[in-house]
Amino acid sequence: MEKKKRSFSALICVAVLLLFVVFLENLSAIFPQVPQVFMPTSPLFTVLKKAAVYSLVAVSMNLLNGFTGLFSLGQAGFMLLGAYTYAILTVPTAMKDQVYYLFEGCAFDFSLVDMFGGIFGSEGAGGAFSMVLGCLVALILAGAVAGFFAYLIGIPVLRLKSDYLAIATLGFAEILRAIFQWQKLGKITNGANMIKGFPTFSSFNITNSSGVEVLRLSTFVPFLISSICITVIVLLINSSYGRAFKSIRDDEVAAEAMGVSLFKHKMLSFVISSFFAGVGGALFAMYVANAQAKAFTSVMTYEILLIVVIGGIGSVSGSVLATFLYVACSEWWLRFLDSEQYIGSFKVPLLRNGFRMVVFSVVIMIIVLFFSQGIMGNHEINLGALIDKITRRSKRSERKQ
Amino acid sequence: MSDQVLKIDDLKVSYGGIEAVRGISFDVKAGEIVTLIGANGAGKSSILRTISGLVKPAGGSVFLEGEDITGKDSTFIVSKGLMMVPEGRKIFPNLTVLENLKIGAYLRNDDISKDLERVYGYFPRLRERSWQEGGTLSGGEQQMLAVGRALMGRPKLLMMDEPSLGLAPIVVQGIFEIIRQINSAGTTVLLIEQNANMALHVANRAYVIENGKISMEGTGKELLEDEKVKAAYLGTVSHKE
């Protein structure tokens, strides 16, 4: 009963957060005089979008590394699969020749958005609906393709342990990247060039007939998708499957002795993690408005690994929190270090292009050295319990009065 | 015979060519406590690990209630009602006590609340600590948890690998008392011990393992009196309680 109440209030918290994001996004439309920060072009929204995308990938990586104890570094590879699947499936047929001009058109003359457009109409509300539906199906397929490849690669690779697994998955991701850049596959992947023209986050902004934005939803959409996916992961972790994952992490031999099938559960965790990494990759493609293999390097995996470590291995809320801090620092708060700054007429020394990364690295080293457990360790912020506490306290103070 | 819970026939186990178990046969009848005693490296643990499916045998066969389970994987064997308390306890340190117990019942789909009550009945300490992480328990409590976890699978045969390892004598006595209780409640027990004195006192029957072979067998009492056993495993002066 208590548990149910808590998950219900946690759900409400998420809903409130989502509404707040919509409100924040449209603040400038309601009050044109708001500070620069709340304008649609502000870095605030870039950070929010990117962090929403990254938090999903970070949580999916945490499911594997933190909850199942499988040290895998293939996340960028699965994101790449997701990004390309999404992009190829949603580029409108009319755009294909333009996008694939180097290869004289795409071998894959099909677009989910157009297909649904054919059913529900491509203008007005029908068009919007078919766009949303097309994107949704493409996102799910993006996850499915990543999950399928995870299954295939998992058969040989999941028999490896710790570092060996990390090396194998890292290698897999690199091979994938090379294959997707292969000119001979240009008809499908557009070679080393980017695929663009597919629906992005800003396609979800609602405009009226004359093209003026009525309601901005471009930040809300990644938040919504990420929160749904993370909720699913959290539910999984709290289920009996999640318990089996954690038992494998804690002690493989004991888990096996209790009848937990190691291979089956490792595979399950690997496929589910990759599924959400694939969805995350598709979201990333939407965020940067293009899909290009070059973006999904091992550096990206390390970035996500870093977020997971900073947040706390084995903590979902830690991963989410760390993502927002990390992305905000790297994209926004530390940006000023990259350009020359003057205090009065005094020129601050050292500040120049690239200095941000120096400071950033030092900050990360400090975190890893002094907070080796990460921000949260393996604890969670329990939104439900938090609200419980607050409401109880306020009731108590009411009684006192 | 129908009351044979476990029957081992000429079991051989080898690790990379080295034979750890060299043709062992024994049986465990329903309602018994059977113990295997022997020195380090005699092959006791290898036998247990092979029965529970963690290690594949090099030869011989294992029957559980007449069904051949030789070389089957541990998931299948556990589902047939054979649970193990692994050597060195091996509880899950980052899971709570309750979660640890639930993992013990992982392969069961029916209601586990009765078994939970039963385990808490044996070990009231676990109920007090049910929200604590397994790793924060003391050694004795961890052993209780390991036994409780195995009981959650409602085993027909409970196998224990050195439950006295690294525990104070008083705690060991408590654990053996519980083993006796569990047995009298109807669970058959196969016990592996280095603490031959304790083991022989609770056991109905015992086998002495030396260099991967059975060198002696008899009832617990017989072996306690045996001069050779006394000299090798009990010390010349036997410690009577």
Binned at pLDDT 50, 70 and 90, residue A332 comes out as: confident
Which pLDDT does position A150 carry in this prediction?
96
Nearest-angstrom CA–CA distance, A168 and A72: 8
For residue B180, CA distances in Å to A28, A81, B3, B202 come to: 75, 58, 20, 7
Average pLDDT over residues A157-174: 91
Comparison of pLDDT for A345 and A156, the residue scoring more? A156
Q: Which residue of A has its CA nearest to B101?
A: A258
Average pLDDT over residues A14-29: 89
Average pLDDT over residues A358-386: 80
**A122 pLDDT more than 80:** no
* B208 DSSP β-pair partners: B37, B216
**B239 pLDDT more than 70:** no
For B121-137, the pLDDT digits (tens) are 999 999 999 999 999 99
CB contact under 8 A, B106 and A250: no
Write down the residue that tokens 């989410």 correspond to.
Answer: A320
Q: What is the dihedral of CA A350, A355, A356, A360, to 10 degrees?
A: -100
Give kind and range of the element (H or E) at residue A231: helix A220-238
Residues 6+ apart with CB under 8 A from A53: A222, A226, A280, A283, A284, A287
Strands B82-85 and B157-161: parallel
Which pLDDT does position B238 carry in this prediction?
46
* pTM recorded for the entire structure: 0.90
Nearest-angstrom CA–CA distance, A35 and B92: 52
Which pLDDT does position B241 carry in this prediction?
46
Which chain A residues touch B54 with a CB distance below 8 Å? 253, 256-257
Strands B4-15 and B157-161: unpaired
| Residue boundaries of the structural domains of chain A | 2-208+215-333+371-400
CB contact under 8 A, B86 and A254: yes
Nearest-angstrom CA–CA distance, A275 and A148: 8
**A401 pLDDT more than 70:** no
Please check whether residue B106 touches A, CB under 8 A: yes
* From A247, A259, A378, residue closest to B78, measured CB to CB: A259
Average pLDDT over residues A229-239: 94
Please check whether residue A3 touches B, CB under 8 A: no
Can you give chain B as a three-state secondary structure string?
CCCEEEEEEEEEEEECCEEEEEEEEEEEECCCEEEEEECCCCCHHHHHHHHCCCCCCCEEEEEECCEECCCCCHHHHHHCCEEEECCCCCCCCCCEHHHHHHHHCCCCCCCCHHHHHHHHHHCHHHHHCCCCEHHHCCHHHHHHHHHHHHHCCCCCEEEEECCCCCCCHHHHHHHHHHHHHHHHCCCEEEEEECCHHHHHHHCCEEEEEECCEEEEEEEHHHHHHCHHHHHHHHCCCCCCC
Q: Which residue, among B166, B207, B212, has the nearest Cα to B41 in the 3D structure? A: B212
Average pLDDT over residues A317-343: 87
Residues 6+ apart with CB under 8 A from B198: B164, B172, B173, B176
Which pLDDT does position A9 carry in this prediction?
84
For B180-211, the pLDDT digits (tens) are 999 999 899 999 988 888 899 899 999 999 88
For B138-184, the pLDDT digits (tens) are 989 999 999 999 999 999 999 999 988 888 889 899 999 999 999 99
Q: Which residue, among A218, A233, A203, A223, has the nearest Cα to A323 in the 3D structure? A: A223
Which pLDDT does position A400 carry in this prediction?
64
- Report the percentage of chain B scoring pLDDT > 90: 52
Which pLDDT does position A281 carry in this prediction?
96
Which pLDDT does position B221 carry in this prediction?
87
**A223 pLDDT more than 90:** yes
* From A243, A314, A378, residue closest to B103, measured CB to CB: A243
Binned at pLDDT 50, 70 and 90, residue A32 comes out as: confident
Q: Which among A249, A250, A265 is the top mutation candidate for probing chain B, defined by the most B β-carbons within 10 Å of its own β-carbon? A: A250
Average pLDDT over residues A172-180: 93
* B34 DSSP β-pair partners: B190, B205
Comparison of pLDDT for A36 and A283, the residue scoring more? A283
Average pLDDT over residues A245-264: 92
Which chain B residues touch A244 with a CB distance below 8 Å? 103, 106
State the smallest CA–CA distance between residue A249 and chain B in angstroms: 9
Q: In this predicted structure, which of A243-247, A296-300, A382-386 has the lowest mean pLDDT?
A: A382-386
* From A253, A260, A378, residue closest to B103, measured CB to CB: A260
Which pLDDT does position B1 carry in this prediction?
46
Binned at pLDDT 50, 70 and 90, residue A386 comes out as: confident
Please check whether residue B90 touches A, CB under 8 A: yes
Tokens of B32: 């018994």
Identity at B171, one-letter amino acid code: V
For residue B48, CA distances in Å to A116, A203, A284 come to: 60, 62, 51
Please check whether residue B96 touches A, CB under 8 A: no
Helix residue ranges per DSSP H, A72-189: 75-90, 93-99, 112-120, 124-157, 162-180, 186-189
> Please, what are the domains in chain B?
1-81+156-241 (3.40.50.300), 91-154 (no CATH)
For residue A54, CA distances in Å to A223, A229, A285, A401 come to: 11, 12, 12, 46
Please check whether residue A394 touches B, CB under 8 A: no
**A200 pLDDT more than 50:** yes
Residues 6+ apart with CB under 8 A from A266: A68, A70, A154, A158, A248
Q: Please give the interface size between A and B, counted as residue pairs whose CB atoms are below 8 Å apart.
A: 70
For B75-124, the pLDDT digits (tens) are 999 999 999 999 888 999 999 999 999 999 999 888 889 999 999 999 99
Which chain A residues touch B53 with a CB distance below 8 Å? 256
Average pLDDT over residues A199-208: 87
Nearest-angstrom CA–CA distance, A135 and A89: 9
Nearest-angstrom CA–CA distance, B35 and B177: 15
